[in-house]
Amino acid sequence: MTYDMIFSLLTDGCFAAVAAVGFSTISKTPSRAWLWCGLTAAAGHALRFALLSGTGLHIVAASTVAAMAVGLLAVLFAPRIKCPAEVCLFPALLPMIPGMYAYRTVQALMACIASQDESQFIHCFYLLAYNGFTCSFIILGMVIGANIPIFIFKTISFRATR
Amino acid sequence: MNAKTSDFLADYAATLLGCGATCIRIEKNLKRLAAGCGVTAQVQIMPAHVTLSVSDGSGHSRVISRPMARGGINFDVNARLSRLSWAVADGHLSADEAIERFQAITSEAGRSSQWRELLLASVANTAFCRLFGGDPASMLLVFAATLVGYRIKQAMIARGRDVRLAFLAASFFSASISAAGHVFHLGGTPEIAVGTSVLYLIPGVPYINAVSDLIDRHYLCAFGRFTDACVLTACLSAGLCAGMYLLGLYDL
């Protein structure tokens, strides 16, 4: 692993942690959970970055695997902070949302409507479908992947606040 | 049958549903709490209501229905209510003490600092922009766009405006402000600034809860939460489209 790769992983993790802590305030996460939200998000996002750049895995598969790791960490951290696992899970997943795919889907939709001829429309429709499908399947993979550890480790997940 | 206890259980379930708890958590917490109060409770969870059938050991039962508590996603309340159910189940609190604690939790629910939330959400979205490869100029634009858009959303919701309208307005203003990068040629990644500027509005919690409910076979709730999330996503997309159309950013 090169120095550049390590640096990219660390910066990626740091910005994901900042994003997770910031977004956790929107859902009124208790402040004692912020550190763990940040750590979970950093680990999940850095793992996805490593899978994408290191193994060439498709973004849908990489996001699903990273979301499962986030779910697992959230379940492990939950008893430590006496909070339900979802408290760490949701903010930590948000930095992995495929925002640019979503944006390009909307942009392609508008271009479809504004297109002047058939070939232009077909190209825009291809972009709409490609970005829309990729975005939808990333989100689907993420939410399923993140929920699996909660249901596998039900005993830990639902006794964390005891 | 103690009406006070059964009302408390119904309010507890409605509050958990309103603060963004998953169906499996509502069921588990409620059954635990009911057992601690010396009754049994069966709960039917609908997308916007909960119906409880509470029975005591003497053969008396009571059916109560409550609309979902309206207060928005609140994980602090979710965590505190979960702890409350364990405190009652483990015998640390009586039913009356639990009711008092519950009232204290719900009355404190909305008391978080709006300004702190505004600032942290803006910083978070700026970090998001950097994660997508945005340069410093785009990050600055996203910070300003989020600050304005999020404040609009907070103000509209505080004044009782429809949440969908608030999402539409917030996304329109955020997209329009972040489009300054395109219009005035600021920085090298104006597209990332526009794309990231509305991401703070993505209703992630309902999407994730919908899948959790689906896995736990609460199909109606799953569908309800998913539809809610899709409507909000459509509203934010409409705001984004309007902003992009106004500033002519739809050329690929």
User: Dihedral angle at the C-alpha atoms of B118, A41, A84, B160, nearest 10 degrees?
Assistant: 20
Q: How far apart are CA A34 and CA A31, in angstroms?
A: 5
For A68, residues 6+ apart whose C-beta sits below 8 A from its C-beta are A145, A146, A148, A149
Backbone angles phi, psi at A60, to 5 degrees: -65, -50
Q: Is the pLDDT of residue B252 over 70?
A: no
Closest CA to B63 of B3, B118, B145: B3
Q: Is the pLDDT of residue B154 over 90?
A: yes
Q: Is residue A7 part of a domain?
A: yes
Q: Which of residues 40-99 of A touch B (CB under 8 A)?
A: 45, 82-84, 86-87, 89-90, 93-95, 97, 99
pLDDT of residue B86: 92
ipTM of the complex: 0.85
* Residue type at B5 in one-letter notation: T
Task: Identify whether the C-beta of residue B37 lies closer than 8 Å to the C-beta of residue B5.
Answer: yes
- pLDDT confidence band for B28 (50 / 70 / 90): very high
- pLDDT confidence band for B208 (50 / 70 / 90): confident
Element at B40 (helix H, strand E): strand B40-45
Q: How far apart are CA B100 and CA B13, in angstroms?
A: 16
Task: Identify whether the C-beta of residue A87 lies closer than 8 Å to the C-beta of residue B79.
Answer: yes
Q: Is residue A28 part of a domain?
A: yes
Segments forming the whole domain that contains residue A8: 3-96+145-157
- pLDDT confidence band for B162 (50 / 70 / 90): very high
Q: Which residues of B touch A33 (CB under 8 A)?
A: 75, 79
pLDDT of residue A1: 63
Q: Which of residues 204-223 of B touch A (CB under 8 A)?
A: 204-205, 207-208, 210-212, 215-216
Tens-digit pLDDT profile for residues B64-92: 999 999 888 899 999 999 999 999 999 88
Q: State chain B's mean pLDDT as an integer.
A: 90
Per-residue pLDDT of chain A in tens (162 residues, 90 and over written 9): 678 888 888 888 899 999 999 989 988 888 889 999 999 999 999 999 889 888 889 999 999 999 999 999 999 998 888 888 888 888 899 888 888 888 889 889 888 988 888 999 999 999 999 999 999 999 999 989 998 998 888 888 777 777
Q: Is residue A41 part of a domain?
A: yes
Count of domains for chain A: 1
In chain B, domain spans: 3-108, 114-246
* Residue type at A30 in one-letter notation: P
Q: Which residues of B touch A27 (CB under 8 A)?
A: 20, 73-75, 205
Element at A42 (helix H, strand E): helix A34-50
Question: Is the CB of residue B192 less than 8 Å away from at least one CB of chain A?
Answer: yes
Q: Which of residues 101-120 of B touch A (CB under 8 A)?
A: 112, 116-117, 120
Question: Is the CB of residue B82 less than 8 Å away from at least one CB of chain A?
Answer: yes
Of the candidates A107, A144, A146, the beta carbon closest to that of B244 is on A107
Task: Identify whether the C-beta of residue B43 lies closer than 8 Å to the C-beta of residue B50.
Answer: yes
Of the candidates B121, B195, B207, the beta carbon closest to that of A25 is on B121
